[in-house]
Structure 1
């Protein structure tokens, strides 16, 4: 039996689902791309190769095992992309929430069903069908649940808008003992530098009391300011649009003092080390071409 426990983003990790890059199938067509960054690389003929992405994920797996983390992998679906396990579910406290993801991706949930079967069934829930939500938009922080959303009237026009306000309201009902705070994110179907696909594409807590943030990822200035006040300016690492494009806010915490980060994030990694955080550097630049990085590839189940 898996006794789930996720109170926040940075406590010591004990158990996680890491996606897989095995058998991801042929390069998608531009029409099949789910986000503008993937489309850009498909068009340029530089979409990542399976062999390279397998190596990148193996490096992450090795780091997790070095820290004695229990690592689950999805069952293999041949010719299918199963890298981004964060999208398909998330844990808050002792409850596993199955995400309502893009319909094309429903099979990814089936591939982790053998893990869900090890959880007390009363602790596994799914929101109603009209509540769209993905794990990249959901973050437990202290007594809050931060949720990225898109509140504008043209929500249905964006394949990049993944979490709606119906889901935000439902989350408040399901977790009444937490304060649910939503953030309106900037969306673009054409420009990856102007598209915060999920909240973790423009913001992420790290360490005890710090966070990485990209101002332009937030549509509402006051919501961005709220986060600046919540953390204190001196505790924030501000990233520009190029760093956001490279996914600098999408690293992954193994503990308050240990993170996995991309080896090219020179400025960020230096700041983390200056704040007494051990940085385990891995190559992840190929996977980042699909507008996802380390947080996107991991679904934590148990933290201390």
Structure 2
């Protein structure tokens, strides 16, 4: 397979879509990785496998409608394999395995059959366990690579901080001709409305020259200001804390003029349609309870 990813919005041709099959039991609070999951575990509203499987199948049907080749992970029994974006990413023609939470290493093995179709010289893995990054923190935008990180002194103890500056530097070594810009994000294990788990939880390009953004997701306001200057304030759709909590910035583009979005994102979906973007609405509110949505559960391989 010849990979090609230059941005977030060009016409999609092939993608890995996660799976909720054999998702395992509801985790304990101690086993959870994020504050939103903990909130639902405590409330008894954590999503069940059948509902999440149905939601993911709805996404698969939309992708197939647009003739996108869809790869699914091999099933690992009692394992959460929904969030395919966490475990790997593609930039240009390079497939990069993420350095992720150790408990999730086995997830990459479930897409080994996809990796086997790629030129081995184009497959990369960080050389040190101290280099941390996940695909949700990395957004490619033509000449730019945007990377979410966390620069707080408590990074080693902050489970919601997934990408460190060593990860940023590693990506820079792979793409010396790109402009790599990091963004220091706000993190919270107590309040999901204050937690930008990944960059795509508070920012994502959409369409030809637009983006969805949550100002309060940026720990360093200069990062937010950089994006305002780059895109133009008139081209940004600003979301509230509640909309970030619902994962409004985590939709997924099939093309510049086609997106998959959650059916309850009424304000966002109206804005997209007003800018002549076709919105394919799906139910995804159950999966959103784990602090991830459509971009988190997809990992593009080929775009035109």
Separation (CA, whole Å) in 1 of partners of 2:117 and 2:288: 31
Residue equivalent to 1:142:
142
| Structure 1 runs of 4+ with >3 Å offset | none
How far residue 208 of structure 1 moved from its aligned partner, in angstroms, is 0.3
Residue equivalent to 2:102:
103
**Secondary structure, in 3 states, of the residue corresponding to 1:28?**
coil
Post-superposition CA distance 1:243-301 (Å, at most 9, x none): 00000000000000000000000000000000000000000000000000000000000
**Secondary structure, in 3 states, of the residue corresponding to 2:105?**
helix
Separation (CA, whole Å) in 1 of partners of 2:181 and 2:136: 15
Residue equivalent to 1:20:
19
Residue equivalent to 1:30:
29
Residue equivalent to 2:282:
282
Residue ranges of structure 2 left out of the alignment (5+ in a row): none
Residue equivalent to 2:46:
47
How far residue 142 of structure 1 moved from its aligned partner, in angstroms, is 2.0
**Secondary structure, in 3 states, of the residue corresponding to 2:13?**
strand
Residue equivalent to 1:77:
76
Separation (CA, whole Å) in 1 of partners of 2:17 and 2:259: 15
Separation (CA, whole Å) in 1 of partners of 2:133 and 2:96: 10
Separation (CA, whole Å) in 2 of partners of 1:43 and 1:120: 45
**Secondary structure, in 3 states, of the residue corresponding to 2:260?**
strand
Residue equivalent to 1:56:
55
Separation (CA, whole Å) in 1 of partners of 2:272 and 2:123: 35
Separation (CA, whole Å) in 2 of partners of 1:209 and 1:127: 32
Separation (CA, whole Å) in 1 of partners of 2:90 and 2:288: 24
Q: Taking structure 2 as the reference length, what is the TM-score of the superposition? A: 0.99
Separation (CA, whole Å) in 2 of partners of 1:238 and 1:228: 11
Residue ranges of structure 1 left out of the alignment (5+ in a row): none
Post-superposition CA distance 1:34-75 (Å, at most 9, x none): 000000000000000101001100000000000000000000
**Secondary structure, in 3 states, of the residue corresponding to 1:23?**
coil
Aligned length: 303
Q: Aligned-pair RMSD on alpha carbons?
A: 0.5
